[in-house]
Structure formats: C-alpha cells, structure tokens
C-alpha cells in the first residue's frame, strides 16, 4: 500500500514518521554560519591521521583512522565547533561541505606521506535548492 502512494505523500509520511521537520530556511542559515575556508595540517601517528583545523578564527584538533574517516571527522568537528543543532547535523555532514581536492586526498591515502597540509573551501554547490 505504501508503494502505491504518490512520491510526495510517501516523502511527507516518512518525514513525519521518522524525524522532526527540517526547515530549509534554518538549514541555509546554519550552512551560512560555517566558514568559507578552512586550513588543515595533518600528520600520522601510530596509524592514525591527526589534524589541526583552523576555521573561522577557531582552532581545534581531530583524528581519523584513514583518509575517509579523517575527512568525515574534519567535517563533524567543524559542525560541532560552530554549534549546528543535532537535527541539522546529519544534513550538513552528508553534503560533504568540506572535501579535499583529489590530489590532496591521494596524499592522505598514501601511508608513506607522514605529514602535509591543505586548504578547503566550503562546497556551496553541495546543497542547492531545486
């Protein structure tokens, strides 16, 4: 029966059933609260990637097991540092707001590289209104 409902009604039903309402206006306000550019310097220590993040005048550390985990943790730490509410936390993280260039990600993946740094620019195209 659920699959026979129009897509719009299915979407509203799922949204109502699983989560509180997310307001696009609030999302964009939180998204615009995030800094436009960040700097990340990182090094390897006992198989972990440790990083120092400079974002919008704030400085903090994060770590990850591998390149993908490190990038995820950088994004999560920025969202946390800029007080994005939990309801909007997952959406901001899923948009991969800050993602390194392929050449920089390749260095993160290469275990022979012990340290490096890179700058990231906020991905404004990640969540455009339709």
Domain assignment of residue 35, given as a range: 2-121
Note the pLDDT of residue 129: 47
- For residue 126, is it within any domain? no
d(CA 44, CA 66): 10
- For residue 101, is it within any domain? yes
Name the nearest CA neighbour of 29 among 121, 91, 100, 105.
Answer: 91
- For residue 130, is it within any domain? no
pLDDT in tens, the chain (130 residues): 545 656 666 556 556 555 566 777 888 888 888 899 999 999 999 989 999 999 999 999 999 999 999 998 998 899 889 998 877 777 776 766 788 999 999 999 999 999 999 998 887 765 554 4
Name the nearest CA neighbour of 67 among 17, 18, 33, 101.
Answer: 101
- For residue 128, is it within any domain? no
Note the pLDDT of residue 130: 45
- For residue 82, is it within any domain? yes
- For residue 127, is it within any domain? no
Q: 24: part of which helix (H) or strand (E)?
A: helix 24-33
Total of domains in the chain? 1
> Are 120 and 40 in contact, with CB atoms under 8 Å apart?
yes
Note the pLDDT of residue 79: 87
């Amino acid at each position: 029966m659920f699959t026979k409902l129009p897509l719009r009604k299915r979407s509203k039903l799922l949204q109502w059933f699983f989560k509180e309402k997310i307001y696009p206006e609030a999302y964009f306000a939180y998204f615009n609260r995030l800094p436009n550019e960040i700097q990340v310097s990182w090094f390897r220590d006992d198989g972990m990637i440790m990083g120092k993040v400079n974002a919008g005048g704030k400085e903090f550390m994060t770590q990850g097991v591998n390149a993908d985990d490190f990038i995820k943790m950088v994004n999560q730490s920025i969202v946390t540092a800029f007080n994005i509410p939990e309801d909007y936390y997952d959406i901001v993280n899923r948009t991969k707001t800050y993602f390194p260039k392929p050449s920089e990600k390749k260095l993160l993946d290469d275990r022979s590289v012990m340290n490096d740094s890179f700058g990231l620019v906020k991905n404004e195209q990640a969540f455009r209104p339709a």
